[in-house]
Structure 1
Amino acid sequence: MPQSKSNPGEKEVKRSLDSSIADGASFSVMAGLGDTYVPPFAVALGATTAQVGLLTALPYAISGISQAIISHIPGITERRKEFVLLFAFIHGIAWIFIALLAIFLLPTEMAIIALIILFSVYSALNAVAIPPWSGWMADLVPEHQRGSYFGKRNAVAGFALLAATIAGGWLLGLLEAVLALQAFAVLFLFAFLWRMVSVFFLWRMADVSAETKIIPIHPWDFLSSPAWHCSRTFAIYVALMQFATNLAGPFFVVYMLRDLHMDYFTFAVLVGITSLVRIVSMPYWGRLADIVGSRNVLRVSGLLVPIAPVLWVFSAEPLYLVFAQVFSGFAWAGFDLSTFNYALSSASKEHRVSFISYYSLMNNLMIFAGALLGGLVAEYFASASLLWMHGLLLLFLLSGAIRLAVSFVFLPLIEERKLTRSVDEYFEGAQTFRNECSEIAHSRSTDARATGQFHEGSGRSNMLKRVLPLGSADEQNLSRDDHATSCGSRSLRHVCKRSG
C-alpha cells in the first residue's frame, strides 16, 4: 500500500530510503541506456557539431525556465509526492516518442530537429520534478547521515549506470548490423521500461509532510542583499564552471565517434569507466565532506576538474584515455558531491524549493550558453591548429583554461557554511539596511540533467544530477530552521556598521 502523508516512523523512513536507492539505480539504468546514447544517435543521423551542441544546450534553457516557474506554483510543498510521480511518469513516456524517431526514419534535417525538440521536452519534464524531489529527500534523510547515505546511493547508482552503459554499447553494436539506426529504438524502449521501474520505487516512498511552507525568494534579494552574499558567490562560481565545462562537454562524443571512429562498445567502456571510478570514490568524498566540510572538498576538486579535459589533447590511444577517464571520474565525483552539499545548506527549508529553482536556472542558462557557444567555436576551430592540436582538441584545451581561471578567482571567496541566526532575524536586518541605505540560486543537478552533457566523455548527463545528492551531508552544525551563514553574518555586520 502507498504511504499516507504523515510523519513516518523509523521503519517507514528506512523503507523509503531503501526505495530511493532503488529509484536512483533504476533511473541510472534508464540514463545509461537512453541519455548516454542520444548524442550518438544524433551523430548517426548525420548531425553537425553545432547541432550536437544545440541538442545539449536547448534542453538546459527550457529546463531552467521550467524550474523557475514551478517554484512559484502554489501547493507544491503540500503535494510533493504526487507532483514528482506525475512528472516522472510523463518523463518516461517521452522515451517512446524518441524511439519512434529511430523506427520511422525521417529526412535527416527533420529528424534532427524533432530529436532536439523531443529531448528538450524530456529534459524539462525531469527538471520540474527536481525542486520538490529535493525538498522531499531533505525531509527524509537525517542531516547527520546525508554524506554517508548519498555516498552509498550514488555508488549504487553509479554501478547501475556503468552496467547499463556498457550493456547498451554491446547491444547497440550487436543489433546495428541487422537493424541499423533502428537499433537505437531498442535502447530507448528499454530506457522507458526502467523509468517505469523508477516510478514504482518513488511510489513506495513515504509522503513526508513538509514542516514549512515555501517562501519565494525575490530575484532582487538574491542579486543585491548581503543576506545572500555567500550563496550568490557560490552560485556564480558553479554557473561559470558549468559554462566552461559545456564549451567542450557535449563534443567528446563527437570526437570519439566521428574523429576517432570508435565502435560503440569501446565508446561505452570509456564512458562507463567514469561511473566505475565514481562508485569507488563517491563514498570517500562523502565521508570526507562530513569530516572537513564541503568547502574544503570543493577547493580540492575545483582545481582537479580543469585538468580533466586537457588530458585528452595528449593522446588518442584507448589505454591512455582510460587514464583520462579515471581522473575525470574522481575529480567530478568530488566536485558534484561538494557543490550539492553546499547548495543544500544555502537556504532554509522554507526557501529551499525557490533557491533550488533559481540556482538551477542559473546553471541551466550557463550550460545552454556554453554548449551553444562551444558548437560555434568548434566549427571555427575545425580548420585551426596549434602545435600538434587541432579541431576539437583546441576546444578541450580552452575549456580547461577557463575552468582553471574561474576556480582561481572564486574558490578563495567561498566561505564555510555555519548557520547562526534565524531567517526572520537575518532578513529583517537585510531589509533594514536596504531601507536605510536607499536577493536565487538552487542546488542541483543533479538528477538530473544533463542532458546529453558529457564531462570529458564520461557520458554523464547533467540530468543525472537527480541521481546525485541534491542534498548530501553538510556540516553537522547546519540548522534546518536557519539560513544565515557565518559569511553572511559578517557581511551584514560590516555593511550595517558602515552605514551607522
Structure 2
Amino acid sequence: MFQLLGGPFVTGYLLYLGATSFQVGIVLAIPSMANMLQIVGALLIQRYSNRKLLFTLLCGTHRVLWVLTGAVPLMFPKEYGVTAYIVVCIAAFMGQAVGSVFWTSLIADMVPAKVRGRYFGIRNTILWAGGCIAIVAFGQILDRLPEPQGFHILYMVAAVCVVFDIFFFLKYPNRPFEKSGQQGTAAMLKVPFRHPPFVKSMLFISLWLFVQGISVPFFNYVMLDIMKLGYNWIAIATMTQNVAMMIGYSMWGNLNAKYRSKTLLFWTLPVIAAACMGWGLLPVLPDIPVLLLIHMLIGVGIGGFNQLMFNFVVGDTPKGERPMFIAVFYALTGFAGFMGPLLGGAVYRIVAHMPNWVQLFGISLAAGIVLLIVAVSIGSRVLLESTKWPRRPGAAGWRRGV
C-alpha cells in the first residue's frame, strides 16, 4: 500500500493531476510536516494509555483518507485536483503522525531490546519485498494502460490493502503502558532537552534531512519529467533501490547487534551523499547503469539511515519517557524534512529555464557534495562521540550508551 500510494507512482499521479514541481515538493514534504504533531501524541499517550486502540483509530483513519485521494479526479474539477489532494493528504498524515507515537511505543515494548536491531532488519526486508512486487506489477500496468485506467486499478488494490491493514492492527497485543514519572506537560517537554548527546544528534539529523530533502525526494520527478522515462523504467529503478534496501536492512540489522546505532548511523551518511553525487556521472556514462547505481546506493543508505535512526530513538532512550523523546525527535526532524523538499521544489521551479543539466544532475550533485562535507565535518563529531545516559535516581534502564 505504501509503495502504491507513496512510492514512485505518487509523482506520476501528481503530474497526471497537473502538479508543478513546487506542488510535488509540498506533497513529498507532508509526512515530515505532520510529524511535528507527534508531541500531541506524546501528551495524549499519558492520558489514554490504550495504545492499541488509539493507534488503530488514528492510523486506520490515515489509511482510509490516503486511499480516498484516488477519488480526487472524480470529485473535483481539474484546476482544483492538486489542491484537494494536498488537503486530504494533510488530514491523513496528521492522524498517522499522532498515531505513530502510540505504535512506536507499543512496538518497542513488544520487541526485546537485545534482538531489536535484527528483528527490524528482518521485518523491513519482508516489507520491502512486498513493495518490490507491487512496484514491478504496477510499473507494467501503468505503462500499458491509459493513465486514468491504470491509476483506478492502483487505487482499488490499495483500498483492499487498507482493509487488511486495519484488520491486522486489531491483532496486535495490547501491552501495559509505563507512564512518565514527570508531573505536568512542561516537565515532560523539558526531559529530552536535558540530555546534550540526544539534542546534538537530533539537531544534526535535522540538518541532514533538510539538505537531503532538497534532492533525494525529486529523483523520480527528474526521471519522469526531465528525462521522460516511462513508468516501467521508474519501476525498475525503484525495485533496484528496494532490493538494495532489503539487503541493507539485513546488513545494518546484523551489525546493529554488535555496534551502537549512532556509530552505524554515521556510516550511512557517505553512502547517501555518494548516491546524490552519482547524478554527476550522467554526462559521461550511459543513463540506465548510472540510475541503477544511484538507486542501489540510495537504497542501502536511506534504508540503513531510517532503520538505525528509529533504533537509536527507541533503543537509546529511557522507557518511561520514550514517547516524549520520540515526539520531540520526530517533531524537529519532521520540520527539517518538511522544509527540505519544499525548498527543493522551489529550486527546481526556479532553474526550469536554465540549461537542462542544472535540473538533470546539477542540483543533486551539489546537494551530494554538501552532504559529504556535513557528514565529515559535523556528523563524525556528533555521532561518533562516546556518551552515556545519566541515571535518574531510583530508576533503572538509563545506562544504555547513546
Q: Normalising by structure 1, report the TM-score.
A: 0.74
Distance in 2 between the 1:259 and 1:364 partners? 28
Q: Please give the residue correspondences for 1:3-22 in structure 2 after superposition, counting only pairs within 5 Å.
A: none
Q: Please give the residue correspondences for 1:395-414 in structure 2 after superposition, counting only pairs within 5 Å.
A: 395-408=363-376, 409-414=378-383
> Which residue does the alignment assign to 2:68?
97
Q: Please give the residue correspondences for 1:462-481 in structure 2 after superposition, counting only pairs within 5 Å.
A: 481=396
1:35-83 deviations in Å (ceiling 9; x for gaps): 122221111222111111112224432x123212221125556200001
1:65 counterpart (24, 36, 39): 36
State the one-letter code of the partner of 1:333.
Answer: G
1:251-279 deviations in Å (ceiling 9; x for gaps): 22221111111111211111121111122
For the 8 Å contact 2:214–2:344, the answer to whether it is kept is yes
1:234 counterpart (181, 191, 201): 201
Distance in 2 between the 1:71 and 1:417 partners? 28
State the one-letter code of the partner of 2:18.
Answer: G
Q: Please give the residue correspondences for 1:293-308 in structure 2 after superposition, counting only pairs within 5 Å.
A: 293-308=260-275
> Which residue does the alignment assign to 1:192?
159
State the one-letter code of the partner of 2:19.
Answer: A
Q: Percent identity?
A: 22
For the 8 Å contact 2:62–2:92, the answer to whether it is kept is yes
- Offset of 1:418 from its aligned partner? 6.4
State the one-letter code of the partner of 2:41.
Answer: I
For the 8 Å contact 1:59–1:121, the answer to whether it is kept is no
Larger Rg: 1
2:324 counterpart (334, 354, 366): 354
- Whether 1:482 aligns to 2:385 is no
RMSD: 2.3
State the one-letter code of the partner of 1:345.
Answer: G
State the one-letter code of the partner of 2:51.
Answer: R
Distance in 2 between the 1:257 and 1:51 partners? 15
Unaligned runs of 5+ in 2: none
For the 8 Å contact 2:132–2:242, the answer to whether it is kept is yes
Higher percent of residues as helix = 2
- Offset of 1:170 from its aligned partner? 1.6
Distance in 1 between the 2:190 and 2:177 partners? 26
> Which residue does the alignment assign to 1:85?
56
> Which residue does the alignment assign to 1:49?
21
- Offset of 1:88 from its aligned partner? 2.4
Q: 1:297 to 1:60 in 2, by over 3 A?
A: closer
Aligned residues: 394
Secondary structure of 2:165's counterpart equals helix
> Which residue does the alignment assign to 1:137?
107
> Which residue does the alignment assign to 1:423?
392
Secondary structure of 1:184's counterpart equals helix
- Offset of 1:484 from its aligned partner? 5.6
Distance in 2 between the 1:393 and 1:320 partners? 11
> Which residue does the alignment assign to 2:301?
331
Distance in 2 between the 1:420 and 1:383 partners? 52
> Which residue does the alignment assign to 1:4?
none
For the 8 Å contact 2:35–2:331, the answer to whether it is kept is yes
Distance in 2 between the 1:420 and 1:374 partners? 37
1:209-252 deviations in Å (ceiling 9; x for gaps): 124447466555544x3xx1110011111111110111113322
State the one-letter code of the partner of 1:483.
Answer: W
Q: Which moved more, 1:71-80 or 1:45-54?
A: 71-80
- Offset of 1:319 from its aligned partner? 2.6
- Whether 1:162 aligns to 2:77 is no
- Offset of 1:100 from its aligned partner? 0.8
State the one-letter code of the partner of 1:312.
Answer: W
Q: 1:318 to 1:214 in 2, by over 3 A?
A: farther
Distance in 2 between the 1:60 and 1:74 partners? 21
Secondary structure of 2:145's counterpart equals helix
Distance in 2 between the 1:76 and 1:306 partners? 42
For the 8 Å contact 1:60–1:120, the answer to whether it is kept is no
For the 8 Å contact 1:241–1:403, the answer to whether it is kept is yes
Secondary structure of 2:16's counterpart equals helix
Distance in 2 between the 1:220 and 1:419 partners? 19
Q: 1:328 to 1:140 in 2, by over 3 A?
A: same
1:354-377 deviations in Å (ceiling 9; x for gaps): 111111111111111111111222
State the one-letter code of the partner of 2:357.
Answer: M
State the one-letter code of the partner of 2:381.
Answer: P
Distance in 1 between the 2:196 and 2:389 partners? 15
For the 8 Å contact 1:383–1:390, the answer to whether it is kept is no
Secondary structure of 1:34's counterpart equals helix
> Which residue does the alignment assign to 1:107?
78
Q: 1:213 to 1:413 in 2, by over 3 A?
A: closer
Distance in 1 between the 2:181 and 2:45 partners? 9
> Which residue does the alignment assign to 2:335?
365
> Which residue does the alignment assign to 1:283?
250
Distance in 2 between the 1:417 and 1:357 partners? 24
Distance in 2 between the 1:221 and 1:340 partners? 19
State the one-letter code of the partner of 2:26.
Answer: L
1:124 counterpart (94, 109, 131): 94
- Whether 1:209 aligns to 2:181 is no
